Structure 1
């Protein structure tokens, strides 16, 4: 049994790397650029090189390493194969196999949001919980579901795709996934801006948002926290869609905790309160008491979860 492991989180611009002891102690973390040119052919060799260099630097023998886990933005099946990863310009890629071949270490691969959920369940907001739903509100809406301490990946690696549950039946605009009315279209950072634009256009109501050029999600959330009534209505709409969608997932999973992460979650407790209020209204009675918590690992959730995946 090795006493170290690596957790790798591949993003569109940087790859976050963590060296851990197997008890979850973070020994070192660093980043390398994500080189997406030539269909991303350098990404996994760069990761392997970063691992090998770190082992040399720390004078750690490969025999003392339990393995390497890696999170990828896109669906990944149980064999650790990515069908595609659009942000990395990958087609079909057997991620775990390639990383094993390049490092000689045991390797596991998973979807980045699922892996982040595992991180929050292991060492984050839901530490010690065996059943957790994580919702990441960023550029998109990601999700991760942990049941009995394990990631629910599903048959196509699409388990926990919370952002793509239909929440509005008569939406005219298409989501990036091709469907219409997905949660991501309203509750992501870009979605909140969209809802704000529509509500501003549909009313004459006074709002601090009216004077702003290029409204951001942060502008909407700041106005909401400052008591702006139109921003309040925008967030009631967003919170209502989020709360009811999460209640639907909770009826399937019955989690010990629901964790909200991603850039939008920086809005803090007022956002949580808004979601929780609507969650309670829609949740099955046995699940109404389930706490909705802010993620605490931030950008490190991915490396923690990736490390945990291989243990």
Structure 2
């Protein structure tokens, strides 16, 4: 299977500078048509020609091929508004295929879902997170088999959001929480199910969902807080993965010189030791002043984010995780700290907000990965 089918790197991939072959041009035009329909909904072939800038004969050929492949359907005629034959509307066959998404970031359970091409969840399943690292992969396989069996229509692909550092082939280079190092999760799932699989870090998947379904801008960071802390980055609408696929791994950045709690990685005062849900919940339970605990955690988050905002000139920060912990005092303290520690003329307007899709954001991000890789839309 081609590498582009194996990882999330293909999402909004940058164009190469080589010779454009006819099959590449056709694939690009096909993606233009599907993107237009995905964004705007049903339209006529003439509308598509105007929207994409492609010739009408090209549009007719592409639409005919997409209908034959089951990705586009005719929706009937547009209501007549003048003389002449009413136009026939076409749209993505949103119910003709399903996407399977897996979210492996939960502290208590792994969650899988069947999603429509529009990112809506139509079926959901979960399995407990095993205590024994040796049983984690089998739990994932059990979950994905159950979800695939519940799709009932052809599956476009499988997207997986997982903790850890994931390379461009869907290999998990390091996921200490699972005891994984060099685990080819994409390859294992493809061999098991015979379907295209894309795997990404859970925060990198989440930021794609925030951009596609949450209306976020093109330059942002999404901080995912759960059993650990990670971040997904977009610059110019492109996902930023880094030279070693570890962009956004902010959980083990030391956020103070005043000591702090011990981290599972062996260091003292990592952001994750202050902000991860288990650690933060434990400190809140032991403190007579919960608001002070939340503001302190928010300040530590702001310390970690300020240089990233300054270096990349980001316009917004989205927080994904338990709203009762991250919203309010914590988010306010993070925003205040970022503003204090960055150039005021450029970054006073940086937004810090809760994601609108926190509960299902990784699942929906997994759907975006598949849509982009298989249909060229996002």
| Bucket of the pairwise TM-score, normalised by the shorter protein | 0.7 to 0.9
Matched, 1:188 2:276: yes
| TM-score, normalisation: structure 2 | 0.64
Q: Which runs of 5+ in 1 are unaligned?
A: 194-214, 225-230
Deviation of 1:184 after TM superposition, in Å, equals: 2.2
Match of 1:253 among 309, 312, 317: 312
Secondary structure of 2:118 counterpart: coil
Q: Which has the higher contact order (CA 8 A, sep 6+)?
A: 1
CA-CA distance at 1:174 after TM superposition: 4.3
TM-score, with length taken from structure 1: 0.76
1:43 matched residue in structure 2? 139
1:309 is the counterpart of 2:369 = yes
Q: Distance in 2 between matches of 1:148 and 1:52?
A: 34
Distance in 1, Cα, partners of 2:172 & 2:295? 37
- 2:329 match: 270
1:9 Cα shift? 0.5
Does residue 33 of structure 1 match 2:92? no
Q: Which residue of 2 aligns with 1:164?
A: 252
**1:288 is matched with which residue?**
348
Match runs of 1:1-311 below 5 Å: 1=71, 3-10=97-104, 11-35=106-130, 37=132, 38-55=134-151, 58=152, 60-61=153-154, 65-124=155-214, 127-169=215-257, 171=259, 174-189=262-277, 192=280, 216-217=283-284, 223-224=290-291, 231=292, 234-263=293-322, 266=325, 268-284=327-343, 285-311=345-371
Structure 1, residues 40-90: CA drift from partner, whole Å, max 9, x if none? 3413421331233113xx3x13xxx32111011211111110124333343
The answer (yes or no) to whether the contact 1:221–1:267 under 8 Å persists in 2 is: no
Match of 1:18, SS? strand
Equivalents in 2 of 1:220, 1:173: separation in Å? 15
The alpha carbon displacement at 1:300 in A equals: 0.8
Per-residue displacement from partner, 1:67-124 (whole Å, max 9, x unpaired)?
1110112111111101243333434211111112222221110112222222223223
Following TM superposition, by how much is the alpha carbon of 1:216 offset from its aligned partner in structure 2, in angstroms?
Answer: 4.0
Kept after mapping to 2: 8 A contact 1:39/1:89: no
The question of whether the paired residues in 2 share the 8 Å contact of 1:17 and 1:29 is answered with yes
Between the aligned partners of 1:187 and 1:47, the Cα distance in structure 2 is 29
Structure number, greater radius of gyration? 2
CA 264–221 in structure 1, closer or farther in 2 if over 3 Å, else same: farther
Query: What value does the CA root-mean-square deviation take over the aligned residues?
Result: 2.8
Deviations 1:224-255 (A, max 9, x none): 2xxxxxx3xx4444333322321211112322
Partners of 2:110 and 2:140 within 8 A in 1: no
Change (3 A) 1:3 1:139: closer
Aligned residues: 274
Distance 1:129 1:220, change over 3 A: farther
> Quick one: distance in 2 between partners of 1:3 and 1:222?
51
Separation in 2, partners of 1:302, 1:15: 11
